[in-house]
Structure 1
Amino acid sequence: MYSEKDFEVSQFNSIEKACFSWSAPSNIALVKYWGKKAKQIPANPSISFTLNNCKTITSASFTKKDNKDDFSFDFFFEGKPKEDFKPKIQKFFERIEQYCSYLKEYHIEIDSQNTFPHSSGIASSASGMAALAMNIMSLEKALKPEISDDYFFKKASFLARLGSGSACRSVIGEVVIWGEHQNSNSSDLFGVEYSELHTSFQNYQDTILLVDKGEKQVSSTVGHDLMHNHPFAEKRFGQAHENLTQIKQILKEGNVEEFIKIVESEALTLHAMMMTSMPYFILMKPNTLEIINKIWKFRNETATPVCFTLDAGANVHILYPVNVKEKVLQFIKNELVVYCQNEQYICDQIGTGANQLK
């Protein structure tokens, strides 16, 4: 298992110019992390499905420069300069400087785009920071060709985490654990693939209902910070450990009924933490609750193994096995799209992580 020290680079080759391009997906947590310590360390472990279609595609060009005192970069989103993104990237570069000291030797031109609609209410920080981290590691591989693939992906996940915590789960693997957990061989520093996936969960579907595409009234960063003095924090952290132990076994054995119980409970617990913090807040919308009740009714009446989960927002992720896809999509069209903003939804499924593009 790698330590922080292992990711520091002291010696590397010199190249004048390089350009890379990577796609990295978003992910949806099954067991949620809410609350973090210093250096983007999670207060509790989490496990997520990696998505396949909701991706950020980022190209990065590195050109050697004379002045090595400061970071130098330009950021473009969908081909247009995006100045308001630059402070977050500047902060990211500052966080990773001790692990990627070579970055100050280059002017970096970053061009990014999403495969999902911008401002659609889907968090792009995970996919965006993961894609940027992959490009940085491609540069490091060019500067130091001897690094192993395992090191490459572990460090990419480590760097992505320093940009956005959940981004570390978007680098590699269908199912990823992040955070130290008993008997998981997992780490607080980077995501680790969980590979014992039963056939029942292969090609699992995630249809994302876009309930509210506006900016959240409370950011995830603020929400995480409110767990520091939360009256139920320690109980919640313990619950997350227990649920992670259970869901690992469920994913291994293929027990979809038990999967539904934990996933829905985790989603509601996440929002319960928000509603009981001080100050308290609610990110669900009336249509979020309408959809949840419709899903419960549909599942009870048809015995279709469909469930919901939520991230820190109003949108609803509907999870279901691929063998009931037509039935569930018909249900969504008939009964749920009316609750979506502009009747928009996105069909996705489990993916494998980041991919380098030629």
Structure 2
Amino acid sequence: MTKQNKTLEYFQPYVAVVPSNIAFLKYWGKSDEALQWPANDSLSMTLSDLHTKTKAQVSEIPEHQVRLNDQEVFREDKVGQKIFKHLDYLAEQLQTREKLIIESSNSFPTGCGIASSASGLGALTLAAVAAWTASPSLEVLASKGFSMDRLIQWARIGSGSACRSLYGGVVHWHRGSCEKEQTVNQAFDESHWPLMDSVVLFSDAEKSVGSTEAHRSAWTSPLFAPRLASLNSRRDAMLQAIEDKNMKFLGPLIEQETLEMHGVIMSATPSVHYFGAETGKFLAWLRERRTALDLDVYFTLDAGPNVHLIYENHLHERVMQLLQETVDSSRILSDHMGAGPVLTVEEV
């Protein structure tokens, strides 16, 4: 866009709110890191209140200005490298040299296993593209040729799991037979089966080893090849359980999947331990108490120490009462299955 045809609308702040997601069938290991081609399919539940809010505004400045959680980040920073690299990628796709002022914040702790890169890179993608194209909504983006499928593929380059946060409900990331054939679709919308995700925080510190580094080691684990061989049948079983709204069937599958993924992570070279004794003790306690109470609440973890408890909405009060036995309420973040991202323009 040339200077003479820029309008006030072009310089307005565009705001994207993108929720995190929690994977039931995990994305772990890559067939091609540069192309963000996963080693297997994955299934996830899109959340709602646990989200990233990113504001992007075109400005006639020599370099992007980025603030993350009220802290300025730079191109050479550890966090900044990923952000600026993705902005460079998006600018290349749009063939623009315009710079952006970016303000981004998470409603949850960053980098501790609550998929902040999924919501963060998803929100960065939507807000940046909206600002560069002066598009105040997802519908306007689509009318300009930026379909959700196209935006998903761009977000995926920034962070693989970001592609799953751009749909609501239950989302299926299909690996495909090659990088170009991978697709993402909404398997079930958010109204199909109202589920909750209550996150028990054992640490809000950023991980010492990031997911990107740990992904690279997956192939060195002796457990990885057997895992890949069994995942398609587990995927199909999960999809059937979700279709049937059968938590007694789905719950054990997501727990098996979580423990298997962490087994791969711990048995890889180098070995990484994302959770310790406190998390392990909590999981044992949960299994004992849910049996005693006949309560259908099941756990899953991403690459971090914090535990996601998955259960049906109508059980929320009972689950909160159960957690009061052992967890301070300040360490619990409760959320529900959500409808996906929102894009707006901030009037100035």
TM-score bucket (shorter structure)? 0.7 to 0.9
Q: Which residue of 1 aligns with 2:341?
A: 354
Q: 2:320 is paired with a residue of what secondary structure?
A: helix
- Say whether the 8 Å CA contact 1:291–1:336 is kept in structure 2: no
Displacement of 1:123 in angstroms is: 3.6
One of 53, 64, 80 as aligned partner of 1:57: 53
Q: How does 1:245-256 map to 2 (within 5 A)?
A: 245-256=236-247
Q: Which residue of 2 aligns with 1:271?
A: 262
Q: Which residue of 2 aligns with 1:316?
A: 307
Q: Identity over the aligned pairs, expressed in percent?
A: 28
**Aligned pairs, how many?**
331
- Say whether the 8 Å CA contact 2:223–2:263 is kept in structure 1: no
Rounded to whole Å, the distance in 1 between the matches of 2:326 and 2:36 is 40
One of 188, 193, 201 as aligned partner of 2:186: 193
Rounded to whole Å, the distance in 2 between the matches of 1:113 and 1:177 is 26
Q: How does 1:66-215 map to 2 (within 5 A)?
A: 72-83=63-74, 84=77, 85-102=79-96, 104=97, 106-118=98-110, 122-139=114-131, 141-142=133-134, 147-148=142-143, 151-180=146-175, 189=182, 191-195=184-188, 199=192, 201-202=193-194, 204-215=195-206
Greater shift after overlay, 312-321 or 155-164? Answer: 155-164
Displacement of 1:249 in angstroms is: 1.1
- Say whether the 8 Å CA contact 2:26–2:43 is kept in structure 1: yes
Could you say what the CA RMSD is over the residues aligned between the two structures, in angstroms? Answer: 2.8
Q: Which residue of 2 aligns with 1:283?
A: 274
- Structure 1 residues 335, 149: closer, same or farther in 2, change over 3 A? farther
CA offsets 1:110-166 (integer angstroms, 9 cap, x no match): 011112245665341111111111113324654896844995222221111111111
- Say whether the 8 Å CA contact 1:173–1:194 is kept in structure 2: no
- Structure 1 residues 166, 86: closer, same or farther in 2, change over 3 A? same
Q: How does 1:11-50 map to 2 (within 5 A)?
A: 15=6, 17-18=10-11, 19-36=13-30, 37=32, 38-50=34-46
Q: 2:261 is paired with a residue of what secondary structure?
A: helix
Q: Which residue of 2 aligns with 1:226?
A: 217
Structure 2 gaps of 5+ residues are none
Q: TM-score, normalised by structure 2?
A: 0.86
Displacement of 1:20 in angstroms is: 0.6
Rounded to whole Å, the distance in 2 between the matches of 1:313 and 1:273 is 14
Rounded to whole Å, the distance in 2 between the matches of 1:281 and 1:118 is 19
Q: TM-score, normalised by structure 1?
A: 0.84
Displacement of 1:101 in angstroms is: 1.8
The AA in structure 2 aligned to 1:30 is F
Rounded to whole Å, the distance in 1 between the matches of 2:204 and 2:188 is 34
Rounded to whole Å, the distance in 1 between the matches of 2:116 and 2:94 is 23
Displacement of 1:333 in angstroms is: 1.3
- Structure 1 residues 330, 179: closer, same or farther in 2, change over 3 A? same
